[in-house]
Amino acid sequence: MRLLRLLLFILFFVLPLLLKGQNVKKDPFYIASWNIENLFDTVDDPLKDDSEFLQSSPKEWNEEKLEKKMNQLARVINYMNNGSGPDILAFQEVENINVVKRLIYKLKDRDYVVAHRESPDQRGIDVAVIYDRNVFSIDKISALKVELPTKYPTRDILHVVLIHKKSDEKIHIYANHWPSRRGGQKMSEGNRIAAAIVLKKSLDSLTQSSNNANIVILGDFNDNPSDYSIAKVLETSDFECDSISESVLLNLAYKEFAMGKGSYLFSGKFDMIDQIIISSAFLDGEKLEHECGTFEVIKPPFMVFENGNRKGGAIRTFSGDNYIGGFSDHFPVGAKFFLKANE
């Protein structure tokens, strides 16, 4: 009789407790970022310096080349996330919302919506975010103005707040394209520090009102994870998946960077200037979580130079004014996340 009672106790009380942690349903979603190298239309915009991408320019930019670039970009985007495409994707170097809308019509099995604001960059290259409206709805969108020490107009930082439909949890997306390294890394560093300060101010304001906010900072930073703007101004850090980090911002790209990997090939060396940084809220065991170890530089074999001085790098659209007909000079980056819910 005692044995029977013990067995019943184990069956109805102990076993359910042991299995509780195993009955977790993971509803995955994928977030990515990609500098798509000058996605311009073929129309002269009198308010922008877009003369480089017109039929009359040395590049002889026309509808045929634009259509091929669109198809090339769509091929890579459809390849992401094991062929399912991303749920959220940040773009850098788009001329306007119309070229992004034209691009998403080529993306399969998704219902994407564009979030975009025109920025003051004189060449007209902006950042934009697309998201699958079957998975997310939009709460609000704003643009953070970046004023450089040189006063030269540059891209805004796009702040898009999305709501995960199955959980009603908000995700704060900060899409970035920081000033380039023109003139050299050290000479131009102050411009990227200025961008980092603007972003940090917004993040501090957000975390003061919501200290457990789900934050994803991504884009082309033109700095590596160890550079001052990222490591010191934003105060990001590396982390271990099996330990709780005390840092507020965790750089998913750090480990790949430390192993010598990167998203952009320059002078025979890879830089990890395209990154995804998250708040520690994604590792708190609550509803929305990052799947550790899933950050990747996305390198479809068809996108990679097999030989020459750019061997291993991304096949770009132009080299100077020489038309190559590729994809972009950057590889995309991405990472997996999921909604955690007990069944």
Residue ranges with strand state E in the chain? 24-39, 88-94, 112-116, 126-132, 136-144, 157-164, 169-177, 214-220, 236-237, 249-251, 264-266, 269-271, 274-279, 288-290, 296-297, 318-319, 322-323, 333-342
> What is the extent of the structural domain holding 257?
25-336
Structure pTM? 0.91
- DSSP codes of every residue in 55-87: TTSTT---HHHHHHHHHHHHHHHHHHHHHT--S
Q: Does a structural domain hold residue 186?
A: yes
Q: Does a structural domain hold residue 343?
A: no
pLDDT tens sequence across 273-310? 999 999 999 998 889 999 999 999 999 999 999 998 89
> In angstroms, rounded to a whole number, what is the distance separating the alpha carbons of residues 61 and 67?
11
Cα–Cα nearest to 177, from 285, 95, 83 = 95
pLDDT at 23 over 60: no
Q: Does a structural domain hold residue 341?
A: no
pLDDT tens sequence across 82-127? 999 999 999 999 999 999 999 999 998 899 999 999 999 888 899 9
pLDDT at 248 over 60: yes
Cα–Cα nearest to 293, from 322, 250, 325 = 250
Q: Does a structural domain hold residue 210?
A: yes
Tell me, what's the pLDDT at 285?
84
Q: Does a structural domain hold residue 226?
A: yes
Q: Does a structural domain hold residue 18?
A: no
Q: Does a structural domain hold residue 237?
A: yes
Q: Does a structural domain hold residue 17?
A: no
CB atoms within 10 A of CB 147: 14
> In angstroms, rounded to a whole number, what is the distance separating the alpha carbons of residues 95 and 98?
8
What is the CATH number for 214?
3.60.10.10
pLDDT tens sequence across 128-137? 999 999 999 9
What average pLDDT does the chain have? 91
How many domains does the chain fold into? 1
